[in-house]
Structure 1
């Protein structure tokens, strides 16, 4: 919520509706100053030995771990994220900083095979100033990845945390900046106007995690400046449940994917396609899972987001779907919404075609695996998808045919360390994590050194 009089962000605790934080919105002058400061520090930071940059990140990671309770408490008050989940996000963020501290010094170029009297190299160099715009649903972990990779490769950063958790984001950035030279990490608070100003500022990279609409706006702005754009935007991730699997296990997987963090995870399950042979026991088990999850999820981030989520549910119900669990806005304070299971959902409804980002599991019952896979692939987004199947031939087909950056077989979450996917279509572009993010944060120079005379 933005106050028009004094231009400040007022964030309400989504559990109680009480004021959680008030933060002044950065002026246009402050945004420009932050970019200038980062630009002014860029040359010296780029020339700092990679091992020294890594040492600074190691120290910052240790400080983040020491402040874990403080950061988790801020996150809980501003976004409603459960304390254990918020603490886990802080721990993950500190681990990510350590990861890039280790990877930065070994990020390497190539030697080329030229003539015997010359040396030819391909050398990675920092791009310069990186504007980092991060979301509210996991503010420390996501910011740590983008900021850590940028700093490890010698870039300077201007960071704008989400307006829904400004104190959490600012405090995290302050902890990091205390271990860096002045200007290497600048932070600005604000709403969409501040983000738009940074996207159009004279920076070299704009890295954004958030909605598809905002990502596309950033891409248009960056087209005018020539900045490189890294986008991880919205998703509408499908879960395909094949015949031949245990319906109780499949329902537990679906519930975890749909209801964890109240459905507010980038790769949450947004739509479910179940084989008709499994439909009745699966739906019964999923409804039971929803009732159990109702006792252990937190609120949505705010009332505005709850209106969005319930709007999708109401649209589906009006089109003929029926709720097997949830589906109604609860009484009482805060922005709580119950885990909801919808059956009989029509293909054109918003809950299937758009990102809901809430604890909603819309289910389509289909006669065979081929149709389920086809409907799962028919989407404007391309972030991730999950397939539960005991048939490895179908599993192979699924990961090859689903047009998304990440496909998970028989697990809604998980994966080996170091994996890095590229989202597609409406879900964005570029590597947003993993070792490949270091490549995104650098540019390559070819060097030819000949002999004199």
Structure 2
């Protein structure tokens, strides 16, 4: 989008950072700077907080149907501008255009879903057990929210948080990742065009996250934090929320097991592996991290997966025919390189990939490793890259134990043709979501989230709006 804003969005207006600071946005395919956007500081955060707090009371009184129609208009605008938004996303984070278009559709669907949920907020009532009193329950917005989104799905992570906040009647401050601010700024412009009142959404782009976020969480006016990012940062934010008991929901790291039993349909399993591993170049919290394959089918599964991975075309996301774009930055690529090198030093065999190409950009080839030592660092580290690490197993109890042997519990994948085993293993996995004979679990109509150190709460589905609502109980004596 050639007219994408580059300033902060506060109180319905586009403004420069108070100290005039800006930060560059790089194209990870070339390393070139594509834009400079405002780099907010503490003063800008206070202005955004003022705007959200001032707008909250009136916005909370807005009719649910009005909120619903704003979200529906925004959905329609996003769909109309799919190509523009996809090009913008590809330019700032690298994913191929076909995948970026898919994310635009996914992102828009959150607005359509929550436009429908906005008019279904209900309460309850009834006679209390003593028979003399009545109970009336109502649900109301939690209040001003701080939304913090990651760089890997810059549009969809915004709509997944903004959608339910708008539907519930909450105002908000959105802080996008510094690597990908342009998609969030474009989204703010779309919502303004769709009729969102001034101050309801404020977007603060910054490279100074601590200077911006901590005062907001400790200040007392922000009543809700919704964060998607690393477990390490999530712990820090939870500590900052403790002072004012800020309600929190968090979607944190993952270490997804991908289990292939001896009775699995290997065609389905390889198809599922390609989805679960290669979506977004492997830069997804739902990405399969540890491939546990039954010893009797491990060699054939590895061969087929390596053939499919090796056939993928790596290059700039804007180029026709490209399947795999660059990783987000040099730091992300260096992490993948180090994890692969560690696994190889411990005896892993490289079936395909494993070598960083020469030239500009943060590219890394699709890689399949087999004979991976369980002590390898990539077994307990979120890879966030296009690397499939295969280990073998012999027994169901053994593989369930190994799959659960991690602090994380976001998603797991199970491939088997046996119904009993499918249900039994899925129920034993310590995860918030299971892909059964599929490598794709994300859907706006389903609750997304994990257990253990993968997070708190759920996003999407019928329960997604609950994170932004409080109950109020009214006791009514009847004489």
Structure 1 pair 337–195 and aligned structure 2 pair: CA distance change class (3 A): farther
2:378 to 351, 367, 378: 351
- Offset at residue 104 of structure 1 (A): 1.0
- Offset at residue 77 of structure 1 (A): 0.5
Q: Check conservation: 2:447, 2:463, Cα contact below 8 A.
A: yes
Q: Check conservation: 2:113, 2:445, Cα contact below 8 A.
A: no
Equivalence for 1:405: 432
- Offset at residue 117 of structure 1 (A): 6.7
Q: TM-score if structure 2 supplies the norm length? A: 0.89
2:409 alignment partner, SS class: coil
Equivalence for 1:444: 471
1:83 paired to 2:97: yes
Q: How far, CA to CA, are the matches of 1:32 and 1:70 in structure 2?
A: 32
Q: Check conservation: 2:113, 2:444, Cα contact below 8 A.
A: no
Equivalence for 1:16: 30
Equivalence for 2:236: 217
Equivalence for 1:171: 186
1:324 paired to 2:346: no
- Offset at residue 343 of structure 1 (A): 1.1
- Offset at residue 149 of structure 1 (A): 0.2
1:342 paired to 2:369: yes
1:424 paired to 2:451: yes
- Offset at residue 72 of structure 1 (A): 1.5
Structure 1 pair 302–199 and aligned structure 2 pair: CA distance change class (3 A): farther
Q: How far, CA to CA, are the matches of 2:392 and 2:305 in structure 1?
A: 13
Equivalence for 2:58: 44
Equivalence for 1:376: 403
Q: Check conservation: 2:268, 2:438, Cα contact below 8 A.
A: no
Q: Check conservation: 2:413, 2:434, Cα contact below 8 A.
A: yes
Structure 1 pair 76–413 and aligned structure 2 pair: CA distance change class (3 A): same
- How many corresponding residue pairs? 448
Equivalence for 2:264: 245
Q: Which runs of 5+ in 1 are unaligned?
A: none
Q: Which runs of 5+ in 2 are unaligned?
A: 1-18, 315-322
1:293 alignment partner, SS class: coil
Equivalence for 1:183: 199
Q: How far, CA to CA, are the matches of 1:314 and 1:391 in structure 2?
A: 37
Structure 1 pair 415–95 and aligned structure 2 pair: CA distance change class (3 A): closer
Q: TM-score if structure 1 supplies the norm length? A: 0.94
Equivalence for 2:10: none
Q: Check conservation: 2:52, 2:200, Cα contact below 8 A.
A: yes
Q: How far, CA to CA, are the matches of 1:11 and 1:93 in structure 2?
A: 22
1:362 to 375, 389, 392: 389
1:285 paired to 2:301: no
Equivalence for 1:130: 145
2:43 to 15, 29, 34: 29
Give a deviation string over 1:207-253, Cα, whole Å, max 9, x none.
01111111111111111121111100110101001002233442232
Give a deviation string over 1:302-345, Cα, whole Å, max 9, x none.
11111111121111112221211111111111011101111121
Residues 57-68 of structure 1 mapped to structure 2, 5 A cutoff: 57-68=71-82
Give a deviation string over 1:243-287, Cα, whole Å, max 9, x none.
022334422322221122211122111110000011111111111
- Offset at residue 382 of structure 1 (A): 0.6
Root-mean-square deviation (CA, aligned residues, Å) is: 1.9
Q: Say which is worse superposed, 357-366 or 59-68, in terms of deviation.
A: 59-68
Q: How far, CA to CA, are the matches of 1:59 and 1:273 in structure 2?
A: 45
Q: Check conservation: 1:240, 1:274, Cα contact below 8 A.
A: yes
Give a deviation string over 1:15-49, Cα, whole Å, max 9, x none.
11111222121121110110111000000000111
- Offset at residue 139 of structure 1 (A): 1.4
2:110 to 96, 99, 108: 96
- Offset at residue 431 of structure 1 (A): 1.1
- Offset at residue 435 of structure 1 (A): 1.4
- Offset at residue 201 of structure 1 (A): 4.2
Q: Check conservation: 1:21, 1:78, Cα contact below 8 A.
A: no
Q: Check conservation: 1:71, 1:172, Cα contact below 8 A.
A: no
1:234 alignment partner, SS class: coil
1:283 alignment partner, SS class: helix
Q: Check conservation: 2:274, 2:439, Cα contact below 8 A.
A: no
Q: Check conservation: 2:127, 2:133, Cα contact below 8 A.
A: no
Q: Check conservation: 1:252, 1:289, Cα contact below 8 A.
A: no
Q: Say which is worse superposed, 257-266 or 60-69, in terms of deviation.
A: 60-69
- Offset at residue 421 of structure 1 (A): 4.2
1:234 to 249, 253, 270: 253
Q: How far, CA to CA, are the matches of 2:79 and 2:334 in structure 1?
A: 35
Equivalence for 1:206: 225
